[in-house]
Chains A and B, each alone.
Chain A
Amino acid sequence: EAGVAQSPRYKIIEKRQSVAFWCNPISGHATLYWYQQILGQGPKLLIQFQNNGVVDDSQLPKDRFSAERLKGVDSTLKIQPAKLEDSAVYLCASSGPQGGTEAFFGQGTRLTVV
Chain B
Amino acid sequence: AQSVTQLGSHVSVSEGALVLLRCNYSSSVPPYLFWYVQYPNQGLQLLLKYTTGATLVKGINGFEAEFKKSETSFHLTKPSAHMSDAAEYFCAVRTYTGGFKTIFGAGTRLFVKA
Binding partners A and B: yes
Residues in B neighbouring A100, C-beta threshold 8 A: 32, 49, 51-52, 94
Chain B interface size, as a band, is 20 to 34
Query: Is chain A's interface secondary structure helix, strand, loop, or mixed overall?
Result: strand
CB–CB A91/B100 < 8 A: no
Residues in B neighbouring A45, C-beta threshold 8 A: 101-103
Q: Which of B11-19, B39-47, B69-77, B79-87 contacts A (4 or more CB under 8 A)?
A: B39-47
A55: contacting residue among B52, B99, B107, CB under 8 A: B99
Contacts A43-B44, A91-B43, A91-B44 given; indicate if A55 touches B106 (C-beta within 8 A). no
CB–CB A48/B101 < 8 A: yes
Assess whether A7 is interfacial by the CB under 8 Å rule.
no
Residues in A neighbouring B43, C-beta threshold 8 A: 4, 91, 105-108
Interface residues of B in 3-47 (CB under 8 A from A): 4, 6, 9, 32, 34, 36, 41-46
Residues in B neighbouring A110, C-beta threshold 8 A: 41
CB–CB A99/B96 < 8 A: yes
CB–CB A43/B34 < 8 A: no
CB–CB A99/B100 < 8 A: yes
Query: Is chain B's interface secondary structure helix, strand, loop, or mixed overall?
Result: strand
* Shortest Cβ distance from residue A3 to the other chain B in the assembled complex, whole angstroms: 8
Residue interface bits A79-102, CB-to-B below 8 A is 1, else 0: 000000000000101010001101
Interface residues of A in 24-78 (CB under 8 A from B): 31, 33, 35, 40-45, 48, 50, 55-56
Assess whether A12 is interfacial by the CB under 8 Å rule.
no
Task: Add 12 more A-B contacts to A55-B101, A93-B44, A108-B42 (CB < 8 A).
Answer: A31-B99, A40-B107, A41-B107, A42-B105, A43-B104, A55-B98, A93-B102, A100-B49, A102-B46, A102-B49, A103-B102, A104-B46
A-B contact pairs, 20 of them (CB 8 A): A31-B99, A41-B106, A41-B107, A42-B6, A42-B105, A45-B101, A45-B103, A48-B101, A55-B99, A56-B98, A93-B102, A102-B46, A102-B49, A104-B46, A105-B36, A105-B44, A105-B45, A107-B41, A108-B42, A110-B41
The list of the 9 closest CB pairs from A to B, nearest first, reads: A100-B51, A105-B43, A55-B99, A42-B104, A105-B44, A42-B106, A107-B43, A42-B107, A43-B104
